[in-house]
Amino acid sequence: MNALVVLAALSGAIAVGAGAFGAHGAEGKAAEWLRTGATYQLIHVVAALVAVQMGARSAGWLFVVGAAIFAFTLYAMAFGAPRWLGAITPIGGTALIIGWLWLAWHALGRNGQ
């Protein structure tokens, strides 16, 4: 079993659900948080799957974990959790940035450039 692919797939399902709820069942700031979290989460599901195909599993893990931290803090606030959770959201964003840099480094190394 490829745990990274399984978690990426589950993350995609959660993102679609959160995005749908943001579009049809939430209003105001909650809808915005749900849409933002879902967008970032879905983008990074695809990035994680690409990273796996490239053999850059570490970048894939950074994408999945970073997206989870980023999106789930926004989702939690959308459902009434304290707004101080927003201070944790950038930790996920930082992991996503590091994942992109790691993927670039891996791609450069693989191509011998």
pLDDT tens figures, 39-72: 999 999 999 999 999 999 999 999 999 999 999 9
Q: What is the mean pLDDT of residues 3-13?
A: 96
Q: What is the mean pLDDT of residues 4-27?
A: 96
Going by the DSSP 8-state scheme, the letter that residue 79 receives in this structure is T
Burial 87-98 (b: 16+ CB within 10 A, else e): eebeebeebbee
Residue-range definition of the domain harbouring residue 40: 3-108
Which pLDDT score is estimated for 72? Answer: 98
Q: Is the pLDDT of residue 26 over 70?
A: yes
| 74 found inside a domain | yes
Angle between helical axes of 3-24 and 28-54 (0-180°, round to 10): 160
Which pLDDT score is estimated for 107? Answer: 94
Which pLDDT score is estimated for 85? Answer: 94
| 21 found inside a domain | yes
| 19 found inside a domain | yes
% of the chain beyond a pLDDT of 90: 95
Which pLDDT score is estimated for 1? Answer: 65
| 113 found inside a domain | no
pTM for this one? 0.93
| 40 found inside a domain | yes
Question: Minimal CA–CA distance to 18: which of 76, 91, 60, 100?
Answer: 76
* Tokens found for residue 70: 């980023």
Three-class DSSP category at 48: helix
Q: Count of domains in the chain? A: 1
Question: Minimal CA–CA distance to 52: which of 42, 63, 41?
Answer: 63
| 84 found inside a domain | yes
Query: Would you say the C-alpha torsion 84, 90, 93, 94 has a positive or negative sign?
Result: negative
Q: Is the pLDDT of residue 113 over 60?
A: no
* Tokens found for residue 48: 């994680």
Q: What is the mean pLDDT of residues 82-89?
A: 96
| 61 found inside a domain | yes
| 41 found inside a domain | yes
Whole-angstrom distance, CA of residue 7 vs CA of residue 23: 24
